Amino acid sequence: MEELKRRVAAYLQHKMPDVMEVTVTSAARIHGGASRETYRLRARWHDGDTSHERGLIIRRDPTAGLLEVDCGVEFAAYRAFHPIGLPVPEPLFLETDPQWLERPFFIMAEVEDCDAASPMTAEPYGPHAAKIGRQFFTYLGHIAAQDPAALGLVGTLAPVAPEACWQRELAHWEQVIDTDEVRPQPVARAAIRWMRRNPPPPPTKVTVVHGDYRSGNFLFDASGDIQAILDWEMCHLGDPLEDLAWAIDPLWAMKTPDRPGGMLPRDEALRIWEAATGQRVDPVALRWWEIFSHVKGLAIWISAGKEYHSGTNMDPILAFPSWYCTDVHNRLIVAKLAAPHEEQAR
């Protein structure tokens, strides 16, 4: 870590030429993500007679990652949403020149004195579950309610026509399965055939899609207030129901699948989202996107298993989902495809 501290201090001095004596006093790796390396640091510097100290987070592209994502997309999302009051970390610097840390990275302000609960626990939010849930689905609705052009994200995020949202996303994740499966995936293939035969109605408008909006990907404080929505690396333009379906996926609820993320009853969560977006949830479209979320999940877990099995990335976090999460999503797909016709539009 000493070399990292030295190089980051040199970079900060380069980006802040008017300050003096920039030092990085501590650095530690934050494990848990599979798409990008994350480090927590503390930096100090002098501005005239005034001393400053600040916590920073670095997100750096890995040598081998589970997802092929551009760190510029995540940085652009923070830069777009931070000024309008959505709780996201303050973005500071984006760097693609390899001279500094070999690989592209960005730096953002650390959001301190907060926790990120694991969705793999039975009651991740304790007595604050309902309060956090109301914020969680309200903020998701606020994301979907924004005009991508007004946010300055058009051009950074690839455009897509409303009727093509589902096709683009399904094709992408099907290709991931095609490339990374180490054994046949009959359940995923059955779901993909069903989705192609039963395309969803297009969204009334194309919106910003976070891409991984779920329990565990935000920070909350001791009072139960969400302070930062994280992990925007899969941000794109698309159907807002894609995000909603992912957020209510039973995988994130463990033993309480009727309470998305272990927060609120499903019906209440949907009502909150509708109120925040000004849109109505089409149950037929939502069901399609829920099945899609299971297939997308399978693609991610399959890739995780391949990375770990091949030895490309030996982080244990990749081994668990390739076993447990794959099983959960396979079972969810089978249950949904086998549901009686009258239940399929719920």
- Is the domain of 101 the same as that of 65? yes
Q: Which of 76, 109, 142 is the last residue of a domain?
A: 109
Residue 346 pLDDT level (bands cut at 50, 70, 90): very low
What is the pLDDT at residue 323?
Answer: 81
Q: Which of 109, 124, 148 is the last residue of a domain?
A: 109
Strand segments, DSSP code E, in the chain are 20-30, 37-47, 50-60, 91-95, 105-109, 207-209, 218-220, 226-229, 236-238
- Is the domain of 174 the same as that of 47? no
Average pLDDT of the chain, as a whole number: 92
Give per-residue pLDDT as tens, 300-313: 999 887 876 666 66
CA atoms within 13 A on the CB side of 111: 19
**Total count of domains within the chain:** 2
Q: What is the mean pLDDT of residues 73-96?
A: 97
In this predicted structure, which of 132-136, 235-239, 307-311 has the lowest mean pLDDT?
307-311
What is the pLDDT at residue 342?
Answer: 45
Q: Which of 74, 109, 144 is the last residue of a domain?
A: 109
Q: What is the mean pLDDT of residues 336-342?
A: 76
Q: What is the mean pLDDT of residues 200-214?
A: 97
Q: What are phi and psi of 67, to 5 degrees?
A: -125, 140
Structural domain boundaries enclosing 12: 2-109
CATH code (residue 160): 3.90.1200.10
pLDDT more than 70, % of the chain:
92
Residue 90 pLDDT level (bands cut at 50, 70, 90): very high
206 has pLDDT over 80: yes
Residue 63 pLDDT level (bands cut at 50, 70, 90): confident
In a domain, 119, yes or no: no
In this predicted structure, which of 20-34, 152-166, 233-247 has the lowest mean pLDDT?
20-34
In a domain, 124, yes or no: no
Let me know: does 41 contact 55? Beta carbons within 8 Å. Answer: yes
> Tokens representing 155?
């051009």
In a domain, 241, yes or no: yes
In a domain, 209, yes or no: yes
- Is the domain of 238 the same as that of 100? no
> Tokens representing 220?
């909350």
What is the pLDDT at residue 123?
Answer: 84
- Is the domain of 250 the same as that of 337? yes
Separation CA 302–CA 311 (nearest Å): 14
pLDDT more than 90, % of the chain:
80
68 has pLDDT over 90: no
Tell me, rounded to whole angstroms, the distance of Cα 141 from its chain centroid.
15
CATH code (residue 18): 3.30.200.20
Rounded to the nearest 5 percent, the helix, strand and coil shares of the chain are 50, 15, 35
What is the pLDDT at residue 341?
Answer: 54
64 has pLDDT over 90: no
Q: What is the mean pLDDT of residues 117-143?
A: 92
- Is the domain of 318 the same as that of 276? yes
- Is the domain of 312 the same as that of 273? yes
> What are the angstrom distances between the C-alpha of 200 and each of 19, 167, 253, 278?
55, 10, 25, 20
- Is the domain of 153 the same as that of 288? yes
33 has pLDDT over 90: no
Give per-residue pLDDT as tens, 163-197: 999 999 999 999 999 999 989 999 999 999 999 99
